[in-house]
Amino acid sequence: MRLDRTRVAVLMAGLLALSGTAASAQAQAYKIGLTLPLTGPLASSGQDYVPAAEIAVANINAKGGVNGHPLQLLTEDSLGTPPGGLAAMRKLVQVDGVQAILTFYTNVVSAQIPLAEELKVPILGSIQTPGLMSRSPYTFSHAETVTATAGLFGDYWKKHGIKRVYAFIPNNALGAIFSSAYKAASAASGVTYDEATFNSGETDYRGVVARAKEFNPDGVIVASPGGLDGTVLIRQVREAGVNAQIFLPGTFLYEPGWKEGVGSYLDGLIMAGVQIDPVAGKQFITEFQAKTGRMPAVYGAELYEEVLMLAAAIQHGAYNGEAIAKQLAVLKGVPSIFGGTITMDPDHYSVPLSNRLRQMRNGQLVLVN
């Protein structure tokens, strides 16, 4: 049967309409941005962050997305620097149209905060600097703070008779926060304290290590915020003959290359921070191992949860920066792979559970009494 021109036109219009509807639905993905160092001295951390975020997005989309919309993760290299973080965030928001940013490192975030307020787009990250994320209605953290970690160290020093502590502090914005927190913890614990700064990405820290050895400490803090700088410092401290107890503000055990970097000096290290709950985090651990072939590190796990937090905020509000920020401020009840549920405190810090001291013993991290 032959179709007349009118019927053909109607059919074609219908097909085009259906095609346009499908394209429109595809274009309505809810975009979230991720700024992190993919190059530079902190780039090794990206090997954990990106897969963890991708797993969270895939799981959400497998369950139908957020209010029927798929999540889409867009990633930009922050270089681990303030200018890089600003350029990455501007590109994601002003070019790609994302309505929320996941981000890392105090020096980068400090630069991004005014931009978040200007663009009215919230930023959420594993930021350990106390008070930093309380300054704006658009800034939020999901991590234990440097102050909380220093308090754990101070309690240990007092109970175990440690009297002289030397700290290696990164030469960046976070370093000043570390320094202040450790000085306060030392004063509260009756500890004599000194410190030296180091530059990320270097391979020879023997000059600052020599100063630590002259101090004759019975406790040493290696305050590397991530990457492999800490492994170099640990090795060179031990190779210099410094046998003091080493403390680390973070549980870096499963960061790519970290365990191998520390080598034979792993046993006895004390780490302050959180751990994935083996029951609540079982599915995430399994999926991460299947995707990468290794155990997930803590900071990747925190990013996984941050994607879930953004999804919950969008679900209970709307897909725009102001609505997401308002919902993040009152967020509660999101299941946590660290155990329990996630609740955002009024200061805009949501602390993962299980922040404790743990020590490496025979290849395992065990709780310190």
CATH of the domain at 183: 3.40.50.2300
Give the three-state DSSP class for 357: strand
pLDDT for 40: 81
- Residue 5 in any domain: the answer is no
Boundary-marking domain end, from 247, 273, 299: 273
Q: Are residues 162 and 196 in the same domain?
A: yes
Same domain, yes or no, for 233 and 212?
Answer: yes
Q: Is residue 9 part of a domain?
A: no
Q: Are residues 271 and 358 in contact, defined by beta-carbon separation less than 8 angstroms? A: yes
- Verify that 63 and 84 share a domain, yes or no: yes
Position 234 scores a pLDDT of: 96
Q: Are residues 269 and 150 in the same domain?
A: yes
Question: Which residue among 273, 302, 326 closes a domain?
Answer: 273
What b-and-e string marks burial along 32-61, b requiring 16 or more CB atoms within 10 Å of the CB?
bbbbbbbebbbbbbbbbbbbbbbbbbebbb
Grouped pLDDT means (10 residues each) for the chain, 369 residues: 42 42 59 93 76 97 96 95 96 98 92 97 93 95 91 96 96 88 96 94 92 97 81 96 95 82 94 90 96 89 96 96 98 94 95 84 86
**Is residue 365 in some structural domain?**
no
Select from 236, 251, 273 the last residue of a domain.
Answer: 273
Residue 245 counted as domain residue: yes
What pLDDT, on a 0 to 100 scale, did the predictor assign at position 7?
A: 46
Query: How many domains is the chain built from?
Result: 2
Structural domain span for residue 266: 146-273
Q: Give the containing element (helix H, strand E) for 92.
A: none
Question: Whole-model pTM?
Answer: 0.81
| CA atoms of 109 and 105, how far apart (whole Å) | 6
Structure confidence at residue 19 (pLDDT): 43
The answer to whether 164 touches 148, Cβ cutoff 8 Å, is no
